[in-house]
Structure 1
Amino acid sequence: MRSTGHGLPGHLVDFVGALRRHGVSVGPGETVDAARVLAVLDMVHREHVREGLAAALLRRSGQREVFDTLFELYFPAALGAGVSEVDVPRVEDAEDGPVDVDALRDVLADLLRAGDNAALAELARAAVDALGSSGAAGTGVRGASAQPGWSAYQALRVLSPETLLAQILADLREGADDDSEFADEVRRREIRDRIAAFRKMVTDEVRRRSAEVRGRDQVARSAVPTQTEQVEFLSAHAEQLTRLRRTVHPLARRLASRLAVRRRHAKRGELDMRRTLRRSMSTGGVPMRPAYRARRPGRPELVVLCDVSGSVAGFSHFTLLLVQALREQFSKVRVFAFVERADEVTHLFDPGAELSGVMQRVLREADVVAFDGHSDYGGSFGSFAEHWGDAIGPKSSLLVLGDARTNYRDPNLTVLKRLVGQARHAHWLNPEPRRQWGSGDSAALRYADVLPMHECRTAAQLADVVEALLPV
């Protein structure tokens, strides 16, 4: 869906299309609601418009960052350099002279101390225009270029707002009534939050100015962050993994509600032909009242074997936290970690256990490394079968987590086949893209011949797989 005109309604359609292209599901009903919001609100009050559109268009957690980034592109705070009441101090008070960086930092410190967000936003626009344009030197001298461009890194490097923290805190302590350590820590965190907000203002301003030159669509492709549930486990950095872990419980609640709906729709068991034929005797052989077998829903036992080596540890950690949040769906859950050999770590994931830093505890306390610390799937399957083989029975579901990269060691398919044969169900969750299965030292395709293997690169994929595997 794309509109090339038609005023504000067409602009809203373009904005909705951009949200859809970046994974935010927006239907016709939400679009109509957003149009009604714009008809009621005054466009001069930009933050009111932002919150109104967010309330109308967003239906799930984790979408706000994408929404805010696109909102800044489609409903910018200004055009071009904009109009700012904050004057950039220059050396020798010349309008076209070099920027007086020290004086500008003093202005920034005053605004951070006061917490004036409106003035900070104006300063961000002025700083980008004066310090972040193409050709601006480290001293703050603005240069010219054939095609204008802007750099948030350049402007923030010159201003270095983080280095103002100690100065601002010292000033605040002088006039404070409470000089306790607690009050000092509160002030420290508040100033850090203001500095982070200013850095975001500068980044947003650079993105807006770049979009005017290069076009919104091109900037959106590279600047809009990936939704948390679409971040790939193997390429996620620490901050993304932290955000992913915060989505565990909302995701578990959503899966549990879906499971409840499935159970309501599956109250009856399979058709009981014998009882149905007996009932039909009273209606001349016509089965007017079908009889169904009584369902005996049982909560199976779950046995999890997870690779905790290298980058796979992030995927394993998230999946184990999800399993822990859904453990009421199972009668019993046992967790085994492995690198070169397996060891049980169920106690680290028991209800009430402290889950912060749990993967570090697994690597520190579990006996999973024998020689060089590289994954040995075959050796791990062998040690698990030797010491805990009886953990898998006819009521057990086996779940293997890992990328199946064996470092060219024996994959030990024989033992895995025996373990899968003992289990009621068995599945393998692999965080690598399917196209990479079987490449290099990957034994994924060989393992996929033994048990079903599912691609789980993102939290969204993992949720779909887990939902399909949950017992009804």
Structure 2
Amino acid sequence: MLDVIEGVAAELRRMNVPVSTSELIDAARSLRTVPLADREAVRAAVGACLAKSVPHQDAFGIVFDLFWPRNDAEGRRLADGESLFEQLPDDELRRILLQSLAKDGTSAMREVARVIVDRNAGIQPGRAVAGTFYVFRALRSVQADTLADDVVALDPPAEGPTRSLSLRLARERAGRAVVGFERMVETEVRRRLVEDRGAEAVAATLRTPLPADADFLTASTPVIEHMRRVVDPLGRALGHALTAKRRRSGRAHLDFRATIRDSLSTGGVPIRLHLRKPRPCKPKLVVIADISGSVATFAQFTLQLTSALQTRFSSLRSFVFIDGMDEVTDLLTAGPTIRDASARINNERRGFWFDGRSDYGHALQLFQEKYADAVDSRTTVLLLGDARGNYREPHAEVLAGLHGRAARVFWLNPERRVSWNEGDSVVAEYAEHCDGVFECRNINDLKNFVESLA
């Protein structure tokens, strides 16, 4: 048992989940309070000690299943049901699965997962793979993408004034049940991979970074969805950092009236000077974001970050570019969601000029020609992009002019620092005219940038 806990802790550390020695000791001590034969009780006790957040809990769940896979007998609770399930065709299995999803039939769902993995996953022994394609093939056999809708269709809400609410709640319940079934399929695939190659070998193929460490440019869809939930709080923190710094740097002025009144207690001699609290004007912010294909995922986050900053500044203007330059402030404020705004930006071809290939130099020139009035001594300019202009003229002198007029200029680059200035990257030419150029590949880098301003 201790070997299992040590293996889980070691793998979590390889995934950058912080596990201290004291937490490992607590996990070992927790085994005294639970029956060791109860796998789920052990999982809960150890997880409470080693996993400290939702992303950490997700990582722990995967790793624990590898080092202590569910016993095959645990998934076979249907008396005399196993042979029957194996003989049923896929469409009949799907019908039983729909009924189980609707009635929370965990045992039947687990048995269906076992049968479809055995029949349709096509697991090949000895292959060093993570098993994602095996899971996909198994779920495809039961048309997993429409399971939730079909579950709701089995017992649709009755007509009436509350039908829309009941329908939404039914869809949410069905969605949660389908997610639970998909996890059963993933667990069954991992169990078979562990039986074939061992926990350590499978863990190496499944090892993925935590959402906070995942690159914006290469993150998977589930990781991207998690990232979106933390961008808004970071945007508010960034807005506070930019405004607070300006507030601290403001000069205090003499409060003449308060000083004279206080001097009455000292015979009219102004011994104590009273100063007015600095009340600087709210700063302005200009965000200029590259939305070309090479940084498309990063562009989504920059637009969401911009949306989160709206209330922190007296003026916030947003611009996007590829080889052209367009203002999208109206779209970000008018759209019901940031996704709708992004779709309109794409549909209206904002930021597009000639061939749709990145041209930082021409985009900066257009900004200077069309939107020079957006930048003054109160403006912070935030540039977001990889500074790769397809070997076209960078026109860094335009950025130099912006830097001369603006309060501060920062550049966030989603590429690794070791890749800067290689190939068509011209980060160095632009960095000369910025107050700071920051590597911003993931959520942690974005947090570090915000903290550096605080």
In the other structure, the counterpart of 2:421 is 438
Amino acid at match of 2:55: G
Q: Structure 2: how far apart are the matches of 1:294 and 1:51?
A: 57
Q: Match of 1:465?
A: 449
**1:88 equivalent in structure 2:** 82
213 and 300 in structure 1: CA distance in 2 versus 1, 3 angstrom threshold:
same
Correspondence for 1:63 among 56, 60, 75: 56
Q: Which shifted more, 204-213 or 435-444?
A: 435-444
Whichever structure has more helix as a proportion of its residues is 2
Q: Is structure 2 residue 394 aligned with structure 1 residue 408?
A: no
> What are the within-5 Å matches in structure 2 for residues 15-414 of structure 1?
15-78=8-71, 84-86=76-78, 87-89=81-83, 101=90, 104-129=93-118, 132=121, 134=123, 151-160=134-143, 171-172=154-155, 178=158, 182=164, 183=166, 186-252=169-235, 300-326=283-309, 332-350=315-333, 354-364=337-347, 367-414=350-397
CA distance 1:395–1:185, change in 2 (3 Å):
closer
Deviation at 1:388, TM superposition (A): 2.5
**What is the one-letter code of the residue matched to 2:46?**
L
Contact 2:289 2:302 in 1 (8 A): no
What CA deviation, in whole Å up to 9, does each residue of 1:17-66 have, x standing for no partner? 21111121122343343334332223344334434433333334433321
Decide whether aligned partners of structure 1 residues 374 and 256 sit closer, same or farther in structure 2, where only a CA change above 3 A counts: closer
Match of 1:272 in 2: none
2:266 aligns with none
Tell me by how many angstroms 1:350 deviates.
4.8
The CA deviation string for residues 183-232 of structure 1, in whole angstroms up to 9 with x for no partner, is 45654554444333222211111112212332222212222443222221
Q: Contact between 1:88 and 1:99, CA under 8 Å: does it hold in 2?
A: no
Provide closer, same or farther for how the CA distance between residues 148 and 104 of structure 1 changes in structure 2, counting only shifts above 3 A: farther
- Partner-residue secondary structure (3-state), 1:457: coil
User: Does the 8 A contact of 2:93 with 2:112 survive in 1?
Assistant: no
Separation (CA, whole Å) in 2 of partners of 1:351 and 1:26: 45
Change over 3 Å in CA distance of 1:405–1:344 after alignment to 2: same
Change in CA separation of 1:253 and 1:37 when aligned onto 2, cut-off 3 Å:
farther
Give the structure 1 partner of residue 262 of structure 2.
none
Contact 1:403–1:430 at 8 Å: present in 2 too? yes
Amino acid at match of 2:344: R
- Range with greater deviation from structure 2 (352-361 or 404-413): 352-361
**Secondary structure, counterpart of 1:228 in structure 2:** coil
Please state whether the residue corresponding to 1:442 is helix, strand or coil.
coil
Q: Could you tell me whether the CA contact under 8 Å between 1:109 and 1:164 is conserved in 2?
A: yes
CA 366–159 in structure 1, closer or farther in 2 if over 3 Å, else same: closer
Report the CA distance between 1:415 and its aligned residue. 0.9
RMSD: 4.0
Structure-2-length-normalised TM-score: 0.76
Q: Does structure 1 conserve the Cα–Cα contact (< 8 Å) formed by 2:120 and 2:141?
A: yes
> Structure 1 residues 325, 55: closer, same or farther in 2, change over 3 A?
farther
Partners of 1:112 and 1:194 within 8 A in 2 = yes
Q: Residue 386 of structure 1 aligns to a residue in which SS?
A: helix
| Residue 305 of structure 1: how far off its partner (Å) | 1.2
Give CA deviations for 1:86-143 in whole Å, capped at 9, x if unaligned.
433369xxxxx977555544543443343212442244335434554647xxxxxxxx
Query: How many corresponding residue pairs?
Result: 418
- Greater mean deviation of Cα atoms: 115-124 or 227-236: 115-124
Inter-partner Cα distance in structure 2 for 1:363 and 1:309:
10
Deviation at 1:402, TM superposition (A): 0.8
- Give, as a single letter, the amino acid of the residue that structure 1 aligns with 2:441: R
Find the residue that maps to 1:63 and give its secondary structure: helix
Whether 1:454 and 2:434 are equivalent positions in the alignment is no
Q: Which residue of 1 aligns with 2:270?
A: none
Q: By how many angstroms is 1:420 displaced?
A: 1.7
Shift of 1:322: 3.0
For residue 182 of structure 2, what is the amino acid of its counterpart? R
Question: C-alpha distance in 2, partners of 1:163/1:18?
Answer: 35
Given residue 308 of structure 2, which amino acid in structure 1 is its aligned partner? A
Q: Distance in 2 between matches of 1:323 and 1:188?
A: 32
Summarize the Cα distance change of 1:330–1:62 in structure 2 as closer, same or farther, 3 Å threshold: farther
More deviation in 179-188 or 195-204?
179-188
Structure 2: unaligned runs, 5 residues or longer: 252-274
Q: Is 97-106 or 23-32 further displaced after alignment? A: 97-106
Distance of 2:237 and 2:377 partners within structure 1: 29
Cα distance change on mapping 1:403 and 1:76 into 2, 3 Å: same
Distance in 2, matches of 1:104 and 1:380, equals: 57
Alignment partners' CA distance in 1, 2:128 and 2:303: 49
Does the 8 A contact of 2:4 with 2:68 survive in 1? no
Using the TM superposition, give the Cα deviation of residue 246 of structure 1 relative to its aligned residue in structure 2, in angstroms.
1.7
Equivalent residues of 2:380, 2:407 under 8 A apart: yes
